[in-house]
Chains A and B, each alone.
Chain A
């Protein structure tokens, strides 16, 4: 029981991480609370079988699975978005001058940035949140999202390109707006 109790306390330390991931995946605070509650209950049930040193990726794996199950029953369209694999990514090599886009990113408003991340297809959003906000390694992300490391790399790369372009495009549009 002592070991279990220590693990329970460990898990509680990562409750914010659990909530943050769920909140970014289901994009709504009430639903995220339900997801986390169910995830914690599940985690408690299985924690006795946990054999590892870092419980955070393990807990996030559960949160991720419960989030996906929730999406599947409430907003299945978000999971089966076939277009996401073909999303147009403009070649950065074709555009020698990235400085305007870089500047737009640096000066992006908080609201704009959050909106742009929130608009990414869920698989890219997930990779980005796990990497940048939860600071998981590629190996850990592969475990949480149940995908090969190569896929982690390409999703992250794609996620960043999509996000950079989205921010650049919004900034560009607003410049044109003011010039008009």
Chain B
């Protein structure tokens, strides 16, 4: 691989832009290639530094006030006006173009901003939220291993596990039988992930326990691998269900598992 390509590959891996196969290949190579690992560590350090230390500038309140004010004064002047001269690209022109109702909707939304922003500020906190969910998932997995509380319902029969989950949750996650592929169903439990009760399916591969948290979602998300406290964590979403899969199983086999469970019979 040319050095430039190599650098792009490394960056794409860091950014979660590789497909699962290439991502696992990178993880494996990182395990035994010290030079690659050094470059990876440097990139990781840079990312952490930027995300923790670089300024994230929040819109000052006076900007919101200014915007609200210009909209209200515009609204009180009487809403939509004639089209401006062609080519005139002044802010006033943009302003005159919207009707009264939209302007006042925005103005009132701006004024109640203080109340809503804490609840709804999803974009900014997106990354922190993902990390928190991964931590929740790993913590629940570890707790289950330590407390010998792996399962609420112990059964290798999908037809026992699924009704139990359906009875205890507001949704019905797929519970595929993957024994033919070497993943034995152990049972299921409920965990609180991200402040919500989620279904957790427990499978076993040799001596490795796998916790697979499932909850409904409207997004699609290609599988992404991360590593946390020595566990591999894979997040993926397809067909209306989001999966967070945690195990000490190697990333390659865990990746296979995620593919299989998403096909969900």
Contact = CB atoms under 8 A, between A and B. Distances in A.
Interface of A: 1, 4-5, 8-9, 12-20, 23-24, 29, 32-33, 36-38, 40-42, 44-45, 56, 91-93, 96-99, 101-102, 105-106, 108-110, 113-114, 117, 128, 131-135, 137-138, 153-154, 156-157, 160-161, 163-164, 167
Interface in B106-163: 106, 109-110, 113, 116-117, 120-124, 126-127
A108 B117 CA distance: 32
A125 to B, nearest CB: 11
Contacts of B122: 13
B50 A153 contact: no
B85 interface: no
A163 B3 CA distance: 18
Q: Is the interface of B mostly helix, strand, loop or mixed?
A: helix
Nearest to B8: A153
Contact of B17 (A18, A37, A137): A137
Interface string B47-90: 11111011111111011101100100000000000000000000
B147 to A, nearest CB: 35
B109 A8 contact: yes
Contact of B56 (A18, A133, A138): A133
A128 B42 CA distance: 16
Nearest to A106: B45
Contacts of A167: 46, 49
Contacts of B17: 137-138
Contacts of A16: 56-59, 121, 123-124
Interface string B90-106: 01001101100110011
A75 B88 CA distance: 22
Interface of B: 3-4, 7-8, 10-12, 15, 17, 35, 38-39, 41-43, 45-51, 53-60, 62-64, 66-67, 70, 91, 94-95, 97-98, 101-102, 105-106, 109-110, 113, 116-117, 120-124, 126-127
A8 B15 contact: no
Contacts of A18: 59
A133 B54 contact: yes
Nearest to B10: A157
Contacts of A113: 49-50, 53-54
Contacts of A106: 45, 48-49
Contact of A45 (B38, B59, B98): B98
A13 B56 contact: no
Contacts of A138: 12, 15, 17
A109 B3 CA distance: 30
